[in-house]
Structure 1
Amino acid sequence: MKRFRNILVAVDTRFDEHPIIDEAVAIAEQSGGAIKIVDVVPEFSWTVRLTLNDHEHMRDLIAEEKRTKLTELSAPLKAKGIDAESKVLMGKTSVEIIREAVRGEHDLVMRVTKGHDSRSKGFFGNTGSRLLRQCPCAVWLVTPERQQFQHVLGCVDTSTGDLIDGELNNKVFELAKTISGFHGGFYSIIQAWLTWNWQMLKSRMEPEAFTEMEAANKKQVTQQLDHFLATHGAESSPSNVHLVNGDPADVITRFARKNDVDLVIMGTVGRSGISGAVVGNTAEQVLARIECSVLALKPSNFVSPIASED
């Protein structure tokens, strides 16, 4: 948890309970980090701006109400000796949260998975989904009804030899172990593997030759995973590490549902150095299917398409 020392917590001050702040406090107390609590005054639709003559005054009143409530939320944190502040943002919720994350050089953004007024049919609301895709730092989306993370699932891919994958694998393992331990729970590590174009190859190879090739492929992937575990002081093939043959998105979502996972930690890979970096295909599919809290990690070279405007 010491990795996160500058936490941005996005809340909706219309509600009285904010357990996500408690989680942020626990992290900050362990890391000695700072917390900034924000709420966003959303953009008024053009019809409201057209029909409400004093819409700017109304917006200012809403902002002042939120500012007062944010001050009340941050006061107990300051009383505990935590470096805490609050701020009201104005504009499109996801855009302004990302801009604030960039401006403040935050290393973690925390928010509920789905806002109360969300019209999104998925498990994650539109704001949460945009944060996962475009926010340059780690994003932790928490289900409102489930705050204890007893079973944490870390998703790795040690088979590529790619430096970005290696960076994310290390972060995933470290955080899965730390967060589960902090909550008195346990963690699992999962890696899916597939033989390249196995369907095409299987239809063109003798069954025995294909079986031998798959066995050799699995052996190589197993050795790579064991080497990764050894670098983290873990034994080879422990009971909480799962190497599963299959499509990664299918493997991860099926495991999470079957094993009552509370939190999935995974890396998202963007195009190096390109503004408008995208979430990797596997991560995109997993995020569209899972129904639990998620901590999404970005590589250090991830560039958000949204500028801070400062």
Structure 2
Amino acid sequence: MKDYKKLLVVVDPTSDKQPALARAVELASKNQAAITVFLSIFDFSYEMTSILSGHEREAMRQGVIAQRKAWIEDLVEAYSKTDSVIETEVIWHNRPFESIIQHAIAGEYDLIVKGTHEHDKLKSVIFTPTDWHLMRKAPVPVLLVKEHDWPVAGKILCAVNVGSEDDDHQSLNGKIIEHAQGLAQKFDAQVHLVNGYPGTPVNLAIELPDFDAHTYSETIRMQHEQRVGSLANTFGISTDFCHVKEGLPEDVIPDLAMHLDAELVILGTVGRTGFSAALIGNTAEHVIDSINCDLLAIKPDGYHSPLEES
């Protein structure tokens, strides 16, 4: 994994608390990285003011941008004593996720860092549509941050897919683990692997009277344990840190993250869009509302965002 040398931090204009900025500064200090604090704003009412000329509307937009930039400069001032180079960027755009991704592509950023929203009652992470779009369409890793510290000797949980042995899955598994190990080295953390395997199909047990459900389940479990163990061995990870559980990934991952008190979950996203995304979704999108820690979403090598041609 290459170091994160350029971080694009997306700030929340509704809050003076910016966990994404705090996390980015922490990451930057470990990587001697540069940070750009980014905000995309838009107010439709300014576009509909027909009594104003185009020049006057542009002047109003620039006035709002200047106000927001001054606000961000105040946020950044709190980190003035750090070694990190922090720049600010505010743009006028009606689709925040597009502006974030396009800026990340144009600036060749290594990581997008964005805060999440926490639901007060359930204490679960509520991800906005912008977060979902970033996970699906951003070609660079996306770190979605909660308001908490990464402890020394914490735990990083890698969600790996060993249900298939094709090269694409193997490559993405390796990429996830490499990101985890790079962060673990800098933050003195443990790397754990988690894999969920499917239970016995009910229809088989019903339709085939001689079907041995227990033997079938044990065979699947052993196959997944063997593949996870082999993957762990490749990257020098102890089998004590491998967790193979029966169940759907969207259930297994949050349960283990809570049990381990993980500080970070890393998983791969395939970048489905359109109709297939509506039908199938991504494991990340099923997991996100159930975890109580940061999430790092990684794309496969060779992924091209639909916005790269925009």
Q: Does 1:170 align with 2:197?
A: no
Letter in 2 for 1:103: A
Closer, same or farther: CA 74–162 of 1 in aligned 2, 3 Å: farther
Give the match for residue 58 of structure 2.
Answer: 56
Q: Does 1:134 align with 2:137?
A: yes
1:230-309 to structure 2, matched below 5 A, reads 230-235=233-238, 237-238=239-240, 240-270=241-271, 281-307=282-308, 309=310
Could you tell me how far 1:13 is from its partner in structure 2? 5.7
Give the match for residue 196 of structure 2.
Answer: 192
Query: Could you list the per-position Cα deviations for residues 182-229 of structure 1 after superposition, in whole angstroms to 9, with x for gaps in the alignment?
Result: 44554432101126x722222233466333233222222221111101
Could you tell me how far 1:9 is from its partner in structure 2? 0.8
Give the TM-score, by structure 1 length: 0.80
Tell me if the contact between 1:102 and 1:308 (Cα under 8 Å) persists in the aligned partners.
Answer: no
Tell me if the contact between 2:197 and 2:244 (Cα under 8 Å) persists in the aligned partners.
Answer: yes
Give the match for residue 4 of structure 2.
Answer: 4
Give the match for residue 89 of structure 2.
Answer: 87
Output the CA distance in 2 between the equivalents of 1:21 and 1:100.
17
> What value does the CA root-mean-square deviation take over the aligned residues?
3.4
Give the match for residue 123 of structure 1.
Answer: 126
Query: Could you list the per-position Cα deviations for residues 141-190 of structure 1 after superposition, in whole angstroms to 9, with x for gaps in the alignment?
Result: 111x3233534322111231122222221232233344355445544321
Tell me if the contact between 1:9 and 1:111 (Cα under 8 Å) persists in the aligned partners.
Answer: yes
Closer, same or farther: CA 79–148 of 1 in aligned 2, 3 Å: closer
Output the CA distance in 1 between the equivalents of 2:65 and 2:142.
25
Q: Choose from 158, 163, 176 the match for 2:162.
A: 158
Q: Choose from 103, 108, 117 the match for 1:105.
A: 108
Give the TM-score, by structure 2 length: 0.80
1:34-53 to structure 2, matched below 5 A, reads 34-42=34-42, 44-45=43-44, 49-50=48-49, 53=52
Give 3-state SS (helix, strand or coil) of 1:203's partner: helix
Output the CA distance in 1 between the equivalents of 2:205 and 2:214.
9
Give 3-state SS (helix, strand or coil) of 1:141's partner: strand
Closer, same or farther: CA 291–76 of 1 in aligned 2, 3 Å: closer
* Higher mean C-alpha deviation, range 284-293 or range 11-20: 11-20
* Higher mean C-alpha deviation, range 90-99 or range 125-134: 125-134
Tell me if the contact between 1:152 and 1:186 (Cα under 8 Å) persists in the aligned partners.
Answer: yes
Q: Following TM superposition, where does structure 1 have runs of at least 4 consecutive aligned residues deviating by more than 6 angstroms?
A: 75-79, 274-277
| Structure 1: runs of 5+ lacking an equivalent | none
Tell me if the contact between 1:110 and 1:139 (Cα under 8 Å) persists in the aligned partners.
Answer: yes
Tell me if the contact between 2:23 and 2:145 (Cα under 8 Å) persists in the aligned partners.
Answer: no
Give 3-state SS (helix, strand or coil) of 1:50's partner: coil
Output the CA distance in 1 between the equivalents of 2:57 and 2:66.
14
Q: Count how many residue pairs are aligned between Structure 1 and Structure 2.
A: 298
Output the CA distance in 1 between the equivalents of 2:41 and 2:204.
55
Give the match for residue 96 of structure 1.
Answer: 99
Tell me if the contact between 1:114 and 1:124 (Cα under 8 Å) persists in the aligned partners.
Answer: yes
| Structure 2: runs of 5+ lacking an equivalent | none
Letter in 2 for 1:241: C
Tell me if the contact between 1:7 and 1:35 (Cα under 8 Å) persists in the aligned partners.
Answer: yes
* Higher mean C-alpha deviation, range 225-234 or range 300-309: 300-309
Output the CA distance in 1 between the equivalents of 2:262 and 2:67.
38
Output the CA distance in 2 between the equivalents of 1:52 and 1:297.
47
* Higher mean C-alpha deviation, range 12-21 or range 288-297: 12-21
Output the CA distance in 2 between the equivalents of 1:257 and 1:79.
35
Identity %: 27
